[in-house]
Amino acid sequence: MAYRIEPATSARFDDVVTLLNPRGRAEACWCLHWRQPPGLPVGGREQHLRELCAHEPPGLLAYLDEPDGGGARADGPGPVDTDRAVDGSTVVGWVGLAPRSAAVALQRSRVLPVGEPEEWPTTWVVRCFVVRVGHRGRGVARALLRGAVEHARSRGGRVVEGFPVEPEADRRVPVSAAFVGTVPLFESEGFETVGGTLATSGRLPRWHLRRDLSSS
């Protein structure tokens, strides 16, 4: 399927909510683990992300354009969504990303490589993926990663990095671990493995992958 990738701006904040906090949980992380200001209360996360969206988009959104309103729900026949936009599109995915210079927690991580400070402003890091139920396994994450590379390039990025998990042989990666992406996903978009890390997701080891934009 073809997906339209758009920056998470203030005008699209309702779609950000749909992906990051559809149940209205007070303790939602709002994809702020790496860039949450010290001392920010849990209840202030939504407003902080809203402010980020008003300046430099903290992520990208994937839309599926279905102007004919066709398709079937994951749980049975009928319309795919009841919250479809006027133009017929449905928001189906999110990817969080930022330059290292904005990822405060990553700069002092003890389990992930922190890189060289002088390279932080031009080294972009993909943090997490969210794909809506009913749209998983259809290439949404790949489209988002491809969009992340182009977004970083358009913002002067020289390198894009990720810390995905390596799937176990013949086993599906659980959603609780797959939000960081998988090694095969990143490799399919031209990323190369730098090495292992001390981090895990869902007890699976996370690897350091990198794509140099100057050579692509």
End-to-end CA gap in the chain: 24
CATH at residue 130: 3.40.630.30
For residue 174, the model assigns a pLDDT of 85
Q: What is the pLDDT of residues 135-178, one digit of tens each?
A: 999 999 999 999 999 999 999 999 999 999 998 887 888 888 89
pLDDT of residue 70: 42
pLDDT value of residue 214:
87
The count of residues in the chain is 216
Mean pLDDT of 102-121: 96
Read out DSSP for 40-70? --GGGHHHHHHHHHTSS-SEEEEEEE-TT--
Percent of the chain residues topping a pLDDT of 70: 89
Per residue in 48-75, pLDDT (tens digit) is 999 999 999 999 999 998 754 444 333 3
pTM above 0.85, yes or no: yes
Q: Which of 216, 201, 205, 204 is nearest to 33 (CA)?
A: 201
Q: In which band, very low, low, confident or very high, does the pLDDT at 78 lie, cut at 50, 70 and 90? A: very low
DSSP character at residue 173 = P
Domain that holds residue 183: 4-215
pLDDT at 71: 41
Q: Which pLDDT value is given to residue 87?
A: 59
| Domain count across the chain | 1
Which one-letter DSSP state was computed for residue 10? G
- Average pLDDT value for the chain: 90
What does the pLDDT read at residue 85?
Answer: 52
